[in-house]
Amino acid sequence: MSAGPRPSVANLLPDETWSQLSETPDAVLVDVRTKPEWSFVGIPDLSPLGRSVLLSEWRQYPDMSVNPEFASALIDGLGDKLPSRIFFICRSGARSMEAATAVSAELGKRGLSAECINVAEGFEGDLDAENHRGTANGWQARGLPWRQS
């Protein structure tokens, strides 16, 4: 028995995401990494757009188990008027794709619609030749606004 069609989630590069956020006033960016990542690595800075990034752990630190309430809590937290686009970002693009897919599926179950988009490369990007992140690609390496607390 088939589980039905898998929700479709697009991938956009970080600079394309920034452009879309700039051009779409109701779009939101959800950082799905963990609290330690937000604190020690940094977060995207949307203040030049007059907005803030939403912080919500998809996988909960320290055991990295999926937060079973993530999709419902995010949708409920967005209120009565859903944004037209919801962008999801993590370290390198894998967790954010999982989160975007889960939210897309939950929206479908509720009969709601918003375009869920994964930020490919994520915040820190892929490992470079020295096995470090933040230099090869990703939000930081592409020179997009970010801050550290």
Per-residue pLDDT of the chain (149 residues; tens, 9 = 90+): 445 455 689 999 999 999 999 999 999 999 999 999 999 999 999 999 999 999 999 999 999 999 999 999 999 999 989 999 999 999 999 999 999 999 999 999 999 999 999 999 999 999 889 988 888 899 999 999 999 97
- Residue 5 has a pLDDT of 52
Q: Which one, of 76, 84, 40, lies nearest residue 56 by Cα?
A: 76
Measure CA of the first residue to CA of the last residue in the chain; give whole Å.
Answer: 48
- Residue 7 has a pLDDT of 62
Distance CA 4, CA 103 (A): 16
Query: What does the DSSP assignment read for 42-62?
Result: -EE--GGGT---EE--SEETT
Distance CA 119, CA 16 (A): 9
pTM of the shown model: 0.93
Q: Write the class of the CATH domain 10-147.
A: alpha beta
- Residue 1 has a pLDDT of 43
> Quick one: how far is CA 79 from the chain centroid?
18
- Residue 127 has a pLDDT of 86
Distance CA 17, CA 139 (A): 9
- Residue 149 has a pLDDT of 72
User: For the chain, what are the domain ranges?
Assistant: 10-147
Cβ 74 vs Cβ 103: under 8 Å: yes
Query: Tokens 């990703």 sit at which residue?
Result: 138
